Amino acid sequence: HSQTVSGLSASTLYHFRVKSGDASGNLAVSADSTFTTSAVSGGTQGVVWTNLVNVTATANSIQKTGGCDGCADAGATSQQQIASGDGYFEFTLPDTTNSLTLALTSGVAAYSNDSMPFTIQTNGTGIAEVYESGAWRAGTTQAGNDVFRIATVSGVVQYSRNGTVFYSSRVAPSYPLVAEVPLYSAASQVTNAVISTSAPPPPDTTPPTISGVSASGITSTGATITWTTNESSDSQVDYGPTTAYGSSTALNSSLVTAHSQTLSTLAASMLYHYRMKSKDVAGNLATSGDFTFTTAAGAALSAPVLKWSYGGCLSGPWCDTGWYSSPAVADLDGDGQPDVIWGGYDAVALRGDNGSLKWRGASNNRIWPGIAVADLTGDGTPEVIVGRGNNEVTVYNRSGGVVWTRNPFASGNEVRSLAVTDLETDGQLEIIVGRAGDGATGQVNVFEPNGTVRAGWPARHAGEPGDGGGMYNENLAIADLNGDGFKEVFAPTSSPYINAFARNGSQLGTSSIYNAFSPAGSKVWSQVGVNVDQAADLRGYANCGVENRPDFSYSAPSIADVNGDGVPELIVVGNVYDCSTYTDLYHIPFILKLDRTRWSGSGFDWTVVPAPRPGSAPRSEDYTVIEDVVPSPAVADLDGDGFKEIIYPSYDGRVHAFWLDKTEHGSWPYTIPTSGAPGDDFRFASEPVIADLDNDGHAEVIFTSWPKKGTGAVGQLIILNYLGVELFRVDLPGPDLASSENGGLSAPTLANIDSDPDLEVVVGTISSGAVAYELPNTANARILWGTGRGSYRRAGTAAPP
């Protein structure tokens, strides 16, 4: 007899028996016999699984389908074997969440890790580890769809991940070797398992080839980038307005040959550069050349349209005088309708869609600082926090009921500085206030949410070193400048000194560069005066008549990371004066670091401050002629280059915008227009707000103006582009029956206060109450500095501190 059997696997043990029947139908069946097929030179085959226990095999893949989750009760071995010499077992692990073992071993299907000489084991933590006969040898990180290999090469067992060897064994292999896979986690699986009787191929060092690049679906705000690769690889796109790119899509780690990535929140009418990156399973990265596309034009901006006016006024209209308090917007009562909160003396809550009154917190004391809105009690509903004249701080609930009122200072000084923040990131907000009154200590106080004074405050403490004075504007900025989770409090005062405190009221120290001046030794912020020239800072005093210095009476500070390096800076505009004659000269910004040194970085040097332009002297500092201007800076990236600009109004009748190169670009500074009527020869402007209204990558600057007294004029709402070119200018409403002029002293507020997708700008005016304007075609706007002092917590930062 002779029979030929074909289609067998190389290097595999086969069992067989023979059967023969005679003419009468009698059948003979032999006993079991075995043979092993010979090795195929260079042969590589998909694993044929045998000895299956609680598993299902599909082609050369295997998955646990029975037994218990986490139990050593499932597995399989390969029919094929490596009889001698070189060979390898290669497999793919689709995920990182399961526990299983992959081994080259003697083939005893006991599924015990300790009995297996060469294993890679995973435990669902994203780590793959080498164990040999139960002894740990090495480990490597694991990602989904990683390809692992256990190979014998010239008598050495090597372990590799994605073609890279991460461990070579010191234990010599004993032949024959088979692949064995114990599976522990329910549904754990191994795919694409192969066994070879040849040496593994050399590491793959060739990156994928990128081709078929296309940008499609281009709109004013987005695009889809597609490309192909000649091998499976991941997907990512770098993009931006220059070949420095600056932005990247999230990495898609799926290994594919047809790639697609969506870009969003792009600017309209802008040229974008982009490049593709794809990395194969072996870690070879391909980066394409540079490609470009231009986004579609966005909806054109148009002039603001008056929505409602005289919000909070009595019939007549008779309106409270409005001061420097910027409006807030919040859904106070949770009805889905945003409310406008503002006040001149009375605090009022108004419906955003029509300006009608919801509640009034009556008072005879003026509201100077922006009204803060925050959830003080942690119950998910906001409270309204108001600072007033006559030494008063009041917290209202969302319905206008008084939660508590406190007098934060010993005297009846006006509260002009107010901010809300979480000083130690414990989820509990504190209320920080500053007083507008003389005296070198006790300028700042801090309340817990329930109205109790926080331990360590008010500060500075009597007897401590340093100097200071009153805080006559919103002179607080609060943020974590060193990333330790605790906020620092900065308080410029009516002097050349800035007070700076830790959360417990202790003073912040300064750099050792100030140790030399008297008294010698370490210093705190309130001991190091600010001067125009850094040499005077280091000396400890100015040579009056030769050197000038700033006063910070009305200097609201801001905190921002001006160059994008992750470290925030303090920005403050000083009123520079001749200290020999006390003549005010000009406003100029300073940028300081946490250690009180002057900032420089990214090729910019602010150890020397910008020189003033001609015509920077004050037009007036007499509030009987025109209400005072306060140089409160907004800090935002106007031109989209990743660096922030400093934008502020000045008593020279202009709005300034300084780039980090210490110059004013384009048409800046902007001179505030007048009517040209007799006496109306200059005007002042509010703190600006900043937004990219049409999402074109360049921000607009929005502010209000006010006229001199006795002119019978009204101020305007003004919108400029990023280079200071005027886009729109509209008159504010006429004054109430008790007034002859009108304007807006406070920063406007940008918010959506109704049901349409566009933004509105809300203005607190001198004599027409709260006023709201529609801003057409701003549904895709990006708000960069959207209200007075940056946020409704009024802490001098663009994001909630």
| Same domain membership, residue 317 and residue 421 | no
Instruction: Give the end of a domain, one of 243, 273, 294.
Output: 294
Residue type, 25: G
| Token pair of 769 as six digits | 């109450």
Listing DSSP states for 157-203 in one string gives: EEEEETTEEEEE-SSPP-SSBEEEEEB-STT-EEEEEEEESSPPPPP
User: CA 79, CA 89: separation in Å to the nearest integer?
Assistant: 12
Q: Tell me the three-class secondary structure of 258-274, residue by residue.
A: EEEEEECCCCCCCEEEE
DSSP state of 10: T
Query: Which pTM value belongs to this model?
Result: 0.70
Q: Is residue 36 part of a domain?
A: no
Q: Is residue 10 part of a domain?
A: no
What number is the average pLDDT over the span 303-332? 98
Count helices and strands in the chain by DSSP H and E runs: 1, 60
| Same domain membership, residue 334 and residue 189 | no
Backbone angles phi, psi at 583, to 5 degrees: -90, 125
Q: Is residue 299 part of a domain?
A: no
What number is the average pLDDT over the span 778-794? 97
Q: Is the pLDDT of residue 10 over 80?
A: no
Q: Is residue 799 part of a domain?
A: no
Number of domains forming the structure of the chain: 4
| Same domain membership, residue 648 and residue 608 | no
| Same domain membership, residue 652 and residue 534 | no
CB 239 within 8 A of CB 250: no
Give the pLDDT confidence score for residue 288 in this predicted structure.
97
Residue type, 281: V
CB 249 within 8 A of CB 237: yes
User: CA 393, CA 384: separation in Å to the nearest integer?
Assistant: 11
CB 759 within 8 A of CB 693: yes
Q: Is the pLDDT of residue 45 over 70?
A: yes
What number is the average pLDDT over the span 604-618? 98
- pLDDT single digits (tens) 687-742: 999 999 998 889 999 999 999 999 999 999 999 999 999 999 999 999 999 999 99
User: CA 414, CA 419: separation in Å to the nearest integer?
Assistant: 15
Closest listed residue to residue 324, CA positions, set 383, 363, 366: 366
Confidence band for 62, pLDDT divided at 50, 70 and 90:
very high
Question: What is the CATH classification number for the domain harbouring 92?
Answer: 2.60.120.920
| Same domain membership, residue 145 and residue 102 | yes
- pLDDT single digits (tens) 243-274: 989 889 999 989 899 999 999 878 778 899 99
| Token pair of 123 as six digits | 């435990």
- pLDDT single digits (tens) 493-509: 999 999 999 999 999 99
Give the pLDDT confidence score for residue 247 in this predicted structure.
87
Give CA angle at 750 (690, 242), nearest 5°: 35
User: CA 442, CA 686: separation in Å to the nearest integer?
Assistant: 29
| Same domain membership, residue 499 and residue 399 | yes
Distances (CA, A) of 799 to 149, 434, 452, 600, 764: 50, 21, 27, 23, 22
CB atoms within 10 A of CB 673: 15
Q: Is residue 23 part of a domain?
A: no
User: CA 502, CA 508: separation in Å to the nearest integer?
Assistant: 6
Q: Is the pLDDT of residue 633 over 90?
A: yes
Q: Give the number of residues written for the chain.
A: 801
| Same domain membership, residue 246 and residue 148 | no
Q: Which of helix, strand or coil describes residue 86?
A: coil
Q: Is residue 6 part of a domain?
A: no
Give CA angle at 190 (189, 196), nearest 5°: 165
Q: Is the pLDDT of residue 562 over 90?
A: yes
Closest listed residue to residue 93, CA positions, set 34, 32, 23, 142: 142
| Same domain membership, residue 422 and residue 313 | no
What number is the average pLDDT over the span 761-773? 99
- pLDDT single digits (tens) 524-543: 999 999 999 999 999 999 99
Closest listed residue to residue 459, CA positions, set 493, 495, 485: 493
Range of the domain at 258: 212-294
DSSP state of 144: T
CB 590 within 8 A of CB 582: no
* Of 203 and 418, more confident: 418
Q: Is the pLDDT of residue 109 over 60?
A: no
Question: What is the CATH classification number for the domain harbouring 244?
Answer: 2.60.40.10
Instruction: Give the end of a domain, one of 262, 294, 326.
Output: 294
Q: Is the pLDDT of residue 111 over 60?
A: no
Instruction: Give the end of a domain, one of 586, 614, 642.
Output: 614
Distance of CA 152 to the CA centre of its chain: 50
What number is the average pLDDT over the span 107-128? 80
Closest listed residue to residue 393, CA positions, set 446, 342, 443: 446
Distances (CA, A) of 225 to 70, 234, 293, 789: 43, 14, 10, 39
Confidence band for 299, pLDDT divided at 50, 70 and 90:
confident
User: CA 573, CA 555: separation in Å to the nearest integer?
Assistant: 6
| Same domain membership, residue 403 and residue 483 | yes
CB atoms within 10 A of CB 22: 8
| Token pair of 542 as six digits | 């100015």
User: Dihedral, CA atoms, 250, 255, 259, 260, nearest 10 degrees?
Assistant: -40
Q: Is the pLDDT of residue 39 over 60?
A: no
CB atoms within 10 A of CB 358: 18
Give the pLDDT confidence score for residue 298 in this predicted structure.
76
User: CA 750, CA 148: separation in Å to the nearest integer?
Assistant: 56
Question: What is the CATH classification number for the domain harbouring 562?
Answer: 2.40.128.630
Average pLDDT, the chain: 94
Give CA angle at 270 (266, 276), nearest 5°: 65
Closest listed residue to residue 540, CA positions, set 558, 554, 526: 526
| Token pair of 665 as six digits | 């670009």
| Same domain membership, residue 765 and residue 661 | yes
Please tell me the least confidently modeled range out of 23-27, 176-180, 671-675. 23-27
C-alpha dihedral sign at 739, 743, 748, 753: positive
Q: Is the pLDDT of residue 14 over 80?
A: no
Distances (CA, A) of 70 to 113, 116, 123, 690: 14, 19, 10, 57
| Same domain membership, residue 509 and residue 387 | yes
CB 793 within 8 A of CB 348: no
First-residue to last-residue Cα distance in the chain: 91
Provide the percentage of residues in the chain whose pLDDT is more than 70.
Answer: 97
Q: Is the pLDDT of residue 458 over 60?
A: yes
CB 204 within 8 A of CB 282: yes
User: CA 224, CA 385: separation in Å to the nearest integer?
Assistant: 46
CB atoms within 10 A of CB 114: 10
Q: Is residue 27 part of a domain?
A: no
Confidence band for 41, pLDDT divided at 50, 70 and 90:
very low
Q: Is the pLDDT of residue 35 over 90?
A: no
Q: Is the pLDDT of residue 415 over 70?
A: yes
Q: Is residue 620 part of a domain?
A: no
| Same domain membership, residue 321 and residue 218 | no
CB 329 within 8 A of CB 341: yes
What number is the average pLDDT over the span 463-485? 97
- pLDDT single digits (tens) 161-218: 988 899 999 999 999 999 999 999 998 999 999 999 998 988 888 999 999 999 999 9
